[in-house]
């Protein structure tokens, strides 16, 4: 026991302490007692468990949202982020990035950005990148035949992660309010603008990747892969957003998204 302990560096101990502190500080905030305060805590975490997933091709990159679901660095997102439409194939080259100061994260590729926003001049922020693998199940990129992708960061944790709402498949109802967590500008490198906004369950959709649930609310183009929260915990992953093409204008959001339900037992077999 003593020899094992001595092999842990002070930096690793610091990372473990920070991740445990972030998790415990959230658990002390009761969703029932202070819903807005709980969301404030999630939004202000640094590092956050919410990430950007990047798939690279020969000439283009795709970016989508994602969420870390284990301290070892498993990340849930949409599988279609791997599809490079203009190249007509799937990518096998992935990176996961955390936006913020990255305090306590394992060593990664750090990009520093300085820019001026309309409401903040000389804003400085970081984006910390890690290479990642897309875990295949039954030789498929699509997890359990759904538009879900399970990625594994190729670095030793611990990483900050979000707990699942349910151990088993949850039951949901029309009219329930969940929260969509997403970076507002995932395609702009390092932009820290992050939203947790309400969406209301309104229906279902039978899609090529199986049954999905429909929710009404705000989203941005690039919010696919965003974490859907119930009581501040992970219950779903956004798959698609519905738009209409207007002549001379382009795509207009309809305020409607679809998502897959996710739960802990579903993932434990795959990690």
- Band the pLDDT of 253: cuts 50, 70, 90: low
Closest by CA position to 53, among listed 135, 175, 165, 112: 135
pLDDT, tens digit (0-9, with 9 covering 90-100), for 12-58? 544 544 454 454 455 545 666 788 999 999 999 999 999 999 999 88
Weakest mean pLDDT among 52-56, 77-81, 89-93, 187-191: 187-191
Q: Which is more confident, 246 or 126?
A: 126
Give the 3-state secondary structure of the chain. Answer: CHHHHHCCCHHHHHHHHHHHHHHHHHHHCCCCCCHHHHHHHHHHCCCCCEEEEEEECCCCEEEEEEEECCCCCEEEECHHHHEECCCCEECCCEEEEEECCCCCCCCCEEEEEEEEECCEEEEEEEEEEEEEEEECECCECCHHHCCCEEEEECCCCCCCCCCECCCCCCCCCCCCEEEEEEECCCCCCCCCCEEEEEEEEEEEEEECCEEEEEEEECCCCCCCCCEEEECCEEEEEEEEEEEEEECCCEEEEEEEEEEEECCHHHHHCCC
- Scanning the structure block, which residue is given the tokens 């594994």? 152
Torsion over CA of 75, 264, 165 and 153, rounded to 10 degrees?
Answer: -10
Of 136-140, 235-239, 242-246, where does the model show the most confidence?
235-239
Percentage of the residues of the chain whose pLDDT score is greater than 70: 77
Weakest mean pLDDT among 19-28, 122-131, 133-142, 211-220: 19-28
What phi and psi values does residue 206 have, to the nearest 5 degrees? -90, 115
Burial of residue 187 (CB within 10 Å: 0-12, 13-18, 19+) is middle
Evaluate if residue 5 carries a pLDDT over 90.
Answer: no
pLDDT at residue 252, as a whole number: 62
| Cβ-contact 73, 95 below 8 angstroms | no
Q: What mean pLDDT is reported for the chain? A: 83
How many CB atoms neighbour CB 159 within 10 A? Answer: 26
Q: How far apart are CA 83 and CA 64, in angstroms?
A: 11
- Band the pLDDT of 139: cuts 50, 70, 90: confident
pTM score of the predicted model: 0.83
């Amino acid at each position: 026991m003593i020899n094992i302990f001595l092999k842990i560096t002070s930096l690793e101990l610091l990372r473990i302490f920070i991740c445990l502190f972030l998790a415990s500080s959230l658990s002390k905030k009761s969703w029932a007692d202070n819903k807005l305060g709980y969301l404030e805590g999630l939004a202000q975490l640094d590092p956050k468990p919410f990430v950007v997933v990047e798939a690279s091709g020969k000439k283009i990159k795709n970016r989508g949202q994602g969420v870390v679901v284990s301290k070892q660095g498993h990340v849930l997102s949409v599988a279609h982020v791997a599809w490079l439409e203009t190249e007509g194939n799937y990518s096998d080259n992935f990176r996961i990035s955390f936006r913020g100061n990255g305090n306590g994260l394992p060593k990664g590729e750090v990009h520093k950005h300085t820019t001026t926003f309309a409401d903040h001049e000389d804003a400085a922020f970081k984006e910390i990148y890690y290479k990642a693998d897309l875990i295949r199940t039954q030789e498929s990129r699509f997890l359990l035949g759904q538009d879900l992708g399970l990625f594994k960061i190729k670095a030793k944790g611990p990483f900050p992660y979000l707990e699942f709402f349910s151990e088993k498949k949850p039951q949901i109802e029309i009219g329930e309010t969940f929260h969509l967590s997403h970076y507002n500008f995932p395609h702009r490198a390092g932009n820290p603008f992050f939203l947790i906004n309400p969406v209301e369950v309104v229906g279902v959709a039978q899609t090529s990747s199986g049954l999905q649930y429909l929710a009404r609310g705000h989203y941005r183009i690039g919010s696919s892969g965003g974490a859907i929260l119930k009581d501040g915990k992970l219950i779903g992953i956004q798959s698609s957003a519905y738009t209409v093409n207007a002549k001379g204008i382009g795509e207009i959001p309809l305020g409607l998204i679809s998502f897959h339900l996710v739960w802990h037992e579903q993932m434990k077999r795959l990690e």
